Structure 1
Amino acid sequence: MFKKILDKYNGIKLNYRIAIAIVLGTLLGIFLPEQRWIGELGVLFVGAMKGIAPILVFVLIVNSLSTGKTSLDRRFGKVFAFYMISTILAAIVAVTASFLFPQNLQLAQSATTSAVLPKGIGEILNNLLVRAVSNPFEAITDANYIGILVWAIIFGIALKLHASDSTKDFLQDVTKSVTAIVHWLINFAPFGILGLIHSSIATNGIGIFKTYGMLVAVLAGAMIFTTFIIAPLVVSFALKQDPYPLVIYCLKQSAVTALFTRSSAANIPVNMDTCEKLKLDREFYSVSIPLGATINMNGAAITIAVMTLAAAHTLGIAVSFPTALILCVVATIGACGASGIAGGSLFLIPMACSFLGISNDIAMQVVAVGFIIGAVQDSLETALNSSTDVMYTAAAEYSGWVAEGKHLPRRFR
């Protein structure tokens, strides 16, 4: 009986199951908001994805480097350039939107946090270097992906040079097992998304649109513009062909889950699975995907720029366009180095505000506003950041295929 139910469940495409979960979660959130146990499905799903992601990244990189025949090549230079260029372009979009639609904030809330906020680019870069060489076991348990990347590469190279064939075979078996666990979790994503939707609606409703509807609209507009205009431009530059089939595919596979989990770490397994479906080189994407989750900060750049310029406009501080662009470059670099800070992009707002002479007390009130609209802002930001990790990874590899005269998968021609 259970097997028949499971077979019928698996017989429905994952995207359809997710769509059904979104509808059910919305209805349950509206009509049964007091049933908090439904939201626990989302907590369990996100917790499981966050838990397996660091292990998956570590074993994939170690296995790829220890048993693979290729090494880090120019594809990594390409994908790194795509990450950086697109993030700066996203910041420019945010600045332009902020100048076209200046926002006023109600700075009455206070915000407190136990997190240690960065005081400048120097401190952020120092923290980045410290995290890169932190204890490898702590890096995995703390989901410190910079540390995971560095140590996985070191272990992978060392095992390639010194490990026996039996050890390498064991690593391959471990990798296959962890990958299988990830597939099981992804298969039950609809239940997690149902819980996340219920919890979000039961907690926030649509009240955020009443007070900060226009601010949400500016943030959402900038992120949507970046998703459907900036990202396709980057992909088109790489492939020299219509980018939208690839862009839409990546959005369907990656952005949907990221939109509801609101966690780039939780979405790493989904992105890995998507890269596998795209027939990409595992040795490449097992490094580029966690790298993107660390430094590909399109959505974060938009959030920091829009919120900081909204604070400046509220206080009557005149900001020239060149100054705003410099501000976004500084904030983008900071976001790339401080992605591990609890609170993500919101806790980089005080640093950006200090660039314009805005006090920390005011800046933390802006952070509080960010938490109020976080149900929308953080969802869209994560969806943009995570889905473009896959887009640019695919673009970097497929550009090599095009240069060699190979055909792309039929769906993208």
Structure 2
Amino acid sequence: MFAALARLSLVTRILIAIVLGFIVAYLFPDAAAYVSILGDIFIKALKSVAPILVFVLVMSSIANFRVGQSNRQLKPILMLYAAGMLLAAFSSVFASLIFPSTLVFTSASEVALQPPGSVSEVLKNLLLSFITNPITALSEANFIGILAWAVGLGAALRHGSDTTKQVVTDVAEAINSIIRIVISLAPIGIFGLVVATFAQAGLETLENYAHLIAVLVATMFFVALVINPLLVALVMRRNPYPLVLKCLKESGITAFFTRSSAANIPVNLDLAKRLGVDEATAGVAIPLGATINMAGAAVTITVLTLATVNTLNIHVDFVTMMILSVVAVVTACGASGVAGGSLLLIPVACGLFGIPSEIAMQVVAIGMVISVLQDSTETALNSSTDVLFTAAVDLAKK
């Protein structure tokens, strides 16, 4: 049986693990307390190896980059990131207008988390992340700081000897070997995550927010299956769906259960390599995308903010909604690549309409209740889009 499973593709094994996870969660819900450790170990392994992987790969890529290559490749990828997020926010506005949602607030918020105070604070934190101590950046998985130091050291090493460059390349290959081992264990980890998610949270807690979840998830599916393919088709000039579906299947499924764009970086780098994407381009664009390319976060921020506005009967004209979309995109770039990273940015968007922080934080609490589907779908969209846009630009060039 194990030999037969080993011959199956990784995606097939993951799908089998998901089905088994549903069965175990339904028949033996008490087993979640024991099985969940498999998922915890898998996420911990991904998060542990991701920072050093990104640091070494980006440094190696920059050190061995051909002159002018990075600008030609990265510029269109960044443009796709920006266009994808903006169109995702616009789609959220139209979805909220066609299917308006309402929320149920209590008299007081029980959420003790502290959101940023304004868009300027989000941008300030983002800029300060660039100059973080490299050891601190690695220990805290601050990918903006990691990228800054990796690019700086990589640029300096371009003037080093060929022997030095070869050592950096060999270290990158060694870390890649570790990554392949971690990824091969994905079915076991995802099995544990599925059991824990559906045995502990269940679907009953989601019934009161079924309409809101439907709007959020449907909008994200629209972005993944309509908006993104249109952008990819403009770049590649051919049918985008084979690439779109492959990225959703091999990156989106894993990201759905890890609920962390940062943890999914190794998965995306492995997929990009198998797609034939230039390793130097992928080594920079994918970690950068995990930090700033947050179309799913833009959807979450926009939909939940407009649901709050609708609940409080605040009149908002169409122009203001478009401004909200831009704010959602800017703040989404500051969302951390961890589970629930976008929720704490909702109060920033609510501040546009003078909504008090007490109510805004209750919206964050509601987001946490529905995060079993909302955050999972959001991360799947965010992470799969990183590798999708990177692959589209690179393969189109070739």
Shift in Å, 1:385: 0.4
Q: Is this contact kept in 2: 1:38–1:195, CA < 8 A? A: yes
1:12, CA displacement in angstroms?
A: 1.5
Instruction: Provide the alpha-carbon RMSD of the alignment.
Output: 1.5
Deviations 1:36-64 (A, max 9, x none): 11011001101110111111111101111
SS of structure 2 residue aligned to 1:280? coil
CA distances 1:276-313 after superposition (whole Å, capped 9, x unpaired): 01111111110000111111111000000100000111
Asked if 1:359 is matched to 2:362, the reply is no
Q: 1 CA distance for matches of 2:110 and 2:388?
A: 36
CA contact (8 A) 1:341 1:347 kept: no
Give the aligned partner of residue 30 of structure 2: 34
Tell me which residue corresponds to 2:322: 325
Task: Percent identity, please.
Answer: 46
Alpha-carbon separation, structure 2, partners of 1:173 and 1:212? 51
The residue correspondences of 1:164-313 to structure 2 (distance < 5 A) are 164-313=161-310
Equivalent position of 1:92 in the other structure: 90
Cα 1:382–1:340 shift into 2, 3 Å: closer
The one-letter code sitting in structure 1 at the alignment partner of 2:111 is T
Partners in 2 of 1:289 and 1:177 — Cα distance? 19
Q: Which amino acid aligns with 2:110?
A: A
Alignment of 1:13-28 (within 5 A): 13-28=9-24
Which residue is equivalent to 1:112?
Answer: 111
- Corresponding letter in the other structure for 1:97: A
Equivalent pairs counted in the alignment come to: 395
Shift of 1:8: 4.2
Question: Aligned to 1:72, which of 60, 67, 70?
Answer: 70
Tell me whether 1:12 sits opposite 2:21 in the alignment.
Answer: no
Residue 313 of structure 2 is matched in structure 1 by 316
Pair 1:126 & 2:124 matched: yes
SS at 2:342 equivalent: helix
Mapped contact 1:280–1:397 kept (Cα < 8 A): yes
Q: Distance in 2 between matches of 1:106 and 1:76?
A: 44
Q: Structure 2: which 5+ residue stretches go unaligned?
A: none
Please give the per-residue CA displacement for 1:358-378, whole angstroms capped at 9, x wherever unaligned. Answer: 110000001000000000000
Once the 2 structures are TM-superposed, how far is the Cα of residue 112 of structure 1 from its aligned partner? 2.3
TM norm structure 2: 0.96
2:75 is aligned with 1:81:
no
1:69 positional shift: 2.9
Mean Cα deviation higher: 54-63 or 168-177: 168-177
* Higher mean C-alpha displacement, 316-325 vs 260-269: 316-325
Separation in structure 1 between the aligned mates of residue 280 and residue 391 of structure 2, nearest angstrom: 13
- 1:203 and 1:52 map into 2 onto residues whose CA distance is 28
1:411 corresponds in structure 2 to none
Structure 1 residue corresponding to 2:154, chosen from 153, 156, 168: 156
Structure 1 runs not aligned, ≥5 long: 402-413
Q: Give the alignment's TM-score, normalised by structure 1.
A: 0.93
Does the aligned pair in 2 maintain the 1:144–1:340 contact within 8 Å? no
Query: Contact (CA 8 Å) 2:216, 2:299: kept in 1 or not?
Result: yes
Cα–Cα, structure 1 residues 127 and 340, in superposed 2: closer, same or farther, change >3 Å? farther
